[in-house]
Amino acid sequence: MTTPEATRAKIVAAAADLFTRCGVRAVGVNEIWRAAEVAKSTLYQHFRSKDELVAAVLRQRNDAWCARLRARAAAAKGPEERLLAIFDLLAEEFADPAYRGSDLVNVAAEYPDPDDPVRAAVRDHKREILRYLTELAEAAEAADPEKTAATVLTLADGAACARVGLGDTGAAGLAREAAACLLAHR
């Protein structure tokens, strides 16, 4: 017998796949429950609305991305290199020809209401990254760790935009260089 947790995970996985391939707004609830191979009522037992399901997908993606960032930073040598590890992770992602930008940012563009649970999930993602970058900036003895973290995140987001908008696979490296200059002039 399948557990409720396994069923929920199956629904989230099916939704995540559909959202990645088609976009959030383009995918209907009927497509999701069919892809998950569950009854529509089962989907609604786990998620009261599509927005709640989208938020769950985004939280899962956040957890996975943040875990990759933490692992990349942990493997870096020295506090400054740990702070710059975000750009190394992005460079790896940008090398994928199928890269279409941050799933979280892309979805945020589809939900203009700042009070929507989807936008809240995106904000939570960015805040978690910002908190972690602030910790890394403190360890790197940046003069203003919060400002340094915000600048690093802005550079990372800008690099992602350059990758998508311009097809610039080297944007992460350029952003890394800019962040390294910032750290050198603390």
125, two tokens? 């993602």
pLDDT score recorded for residue 121: 87
Contacting residues for 30 by C-beta, under 8 A, at least 6 apart? 40
| CA 126-91-128 angle, 5° bins | 15
Residue 1 has pLDDT above 70, yes or no: no
Q: Which residue ranges form the domains of the chain, and what is each CATH number?
A: 1-47 (1.10.10.60), 50-184 (1.10.357.10)
Higher pLDDT, 54 or 1: 54
Residue 22 has pLDDT above 90, yes or no: no
**Lowest mean pLDDT segment, chosen from 94-98, 102-106, 134-138:** 102-106
Burial class (CB in 10 A: 0-12, 13-18, 19+), 110: middle
Query: Does residue 77 have a pLDDT over 80?
Result: yes
Report the share of the chain in percent with pLDDT over 70. 99
Judged against a pLDDT cut of 90, whether residue 70 lies above it is answered with yes
pTM score of the predicted model = 0.86
Q: Is the pLDDT of residue 186 over 70?
A: no
Q: What is the mean pLDDT of the chain?
A: 92
